[in-house]
Amino acid sequence: MRPISGSPLLSLTGNLSPSMSPIRKLAFVINEDKPGAPELAKALQTQAEAVGVSVVASAAYPIAEDYLEGCDACCVIGGDGTLLGVVRSAARHQVPIIGVNRGSLGFLTTFSAEEARNQFGALLQGEFNVAQRSLLDCSTGPGQHDLALNDVLIKAEANSRLVRLEVFADDELVTEYYCDGMIFSTPTGSTAYNLSAGGPLIHPAAEVIAMTPICPHTLSNRSIIFRNSVRIKVYDRTNAPLLVAMDGQRNLVTCDTSPVEISVSPHRLLLAQRRGYEHFSVVRTKLKWSGGYADHSA
């Protein structure tokens, strides 16, 4: 069932071919702190086992590195934060994630609890689309390496301090930033911290990196969009400890002799989406955009 390297390129919708094989082994990751998550997980597990699907379930966080090995899909029941904790393992094992939202905003956990209950039989038969989402690869020195689905944040370890960061793109100097920090975002993460910091919304199928300074001391410093093949290096000119946070969950230790290096990873996250999923419909709903509907059918 799992796509292999060399899968077809994304279409504008970001979806691969919807022809998927039935799920034979399904992993559950459950955030038991979310209201209704344990009960929903139990109901979906029972439904899967009733049709002969092998099931494993875990409420541990983070999941063990080999937890998803041999699985055809992973059903994450919680919020976007729960899903972000599964990203690295899912990407490395190329296991599609079925995200069921029991949190608040839910950009990544695209199925509601009701949709999951009503459509789970079809999902087990492989009746869903799979979007490939790009990941950022970040290194801060020897042995310090991680993947991020949303963003890489660079800021001072001491919250009250400003940082002076010198940014190079493919060894060409961009500029030196004096700011509260810097966000490097994927298209998927453009609706997260990047958006809050005044960065652009980016369609998830776009193959780019967004760099957004946080409260820069030069008014002309704005977001920059880089192509997906760029290799970015960030040098700390503050001579103070930096915090490098991956998806707001994991921190990398910086090395005085090494820059922070960021690029698009060759790995992709496989994200299950219901048939008929529309990206901007989700954006309008989640961001509470208003405006009239014009009927252009006439």
Contact 243, 232 (CB under 8 A): no
Active site residue 256: no
Catalytic residue among 80, 146, 151, 236: 80
Side chain identity at residue 215, one-letter code: C
Q: What are the C-alpha distances in Å from 24 to residues 27, 130, 158, 177, 280?
A: 10, 17, 48, 51, 32
φ, ψ (nearest 5 deg) of residue 271: -115, 120
Cβ atoms within 10 Å, residue 195: 18
The rounded distance, in Å, linking the Cα atoms of 164 and 155 is: 9
CA distance 194 to 148: 14
77 exposed, middle or buried (CB, 10 Å; 0-12, 13-18, 19+)?
A: buried
What are the DSSP calls for 173-235, one per residue?
A: EEEEEEESEEEEE-SGGGGTHHHHTTPPP--TT--EEEEEEES-SSTT---EEEETT--EEEE
At 264, the amino acid letter reads: V
Strand-pair partners of 130 = 272
Nearest-angstrom CA–CA distance, 95 and 29: 13
What stretch of H or E contains 29?
strand 25-30
CA–CA distance from 108 to each of 53, 78, 85, 144 (Å)? 25, 10, 12, 26
Mapped onto helix, strand or coil, the DSSP state of residue 162 is: coil
Active site residues: 80
